[in-house]
């Protein structure tokens, strides 16, 4: 196998790992700003400002989970939020 073929094979393996295997399961109770906005029937900008304030005060917590982005072929660390001291505490 040529060096070029080895390199291409290695790159394909890395891409398949980062695309498929990199996504995490988001535990129950954690939602993105967009998900909270839809749930509360508010705009993402409005709910985002409120959530940031709640995180800063310690009433809510933030954690990033690697999720598949809307294009469907890559994972990206995406902030998720939930009220602090929620059931199913998992950090």
| Residue 70 is assigned to a structural domain of this protein | yes
Cα 66 from chain centroid?
4
| Residue 4 is assigned to a structural domain of this protein | no
Output the domain CATH number for residue 50.
1.10.10
**Residues 34/48, Cβ–Cβ less than 8 Å:** no
**Residues 82/30, Cβ–Cβ less than 8 Å:** yes
6 pLDDT more than 80: no
Sort 86 into a burial class: Cβ within 10 Å, 0-12 / 13-18 / 19+.
middle
Determine the Cα–Cα distance for residues 76 and 66; give it in Å rounded to an integer: 5
Under DSSP, the state recorded for 51 is H
| Residue 13 is assigned to a structural domain of this protein | no
pLDDT digits (tens, 9 = 90+) for 21-33: 578 899 999 999 9
| Residue 11 is assigned to a structural domain of this protein | no
pLDDT score recorded for residue 75: 85
Range of the domain at 29: 23-91
Domain count, the chain: 1
| Residue 9 is assigned to a structural domain of this protein | no
| Residue 46 is assigned to a structural domain of this protein | yes
The pTM for the full model equals: 0.70
Provide mean pLDDT across the span 34-50: 95
Lowest mean pLDDT, pick from 6-10, 13-17, 59-63, 69-73: 13-17
């Amino acid at each position: 196998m040529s060096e070029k073929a080895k390199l291409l094979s290695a790159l394909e393996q890395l891409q398949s790992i980062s695309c498929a295997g990199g996504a995490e399961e988001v535990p129950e109770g954690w939602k993105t700003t967009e998900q909270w906005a839809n749930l509360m029937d508010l705009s993402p900008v409005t709910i985002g400002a409120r959530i940031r304030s709640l995180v800063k005060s310690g009433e809510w917590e933030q954690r990033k989970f690697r999720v598949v982005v809307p294009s469907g072929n890559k994972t990206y660390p995406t902030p998720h939020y939930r009220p602090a001291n929620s059931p199913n505490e998992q950090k």
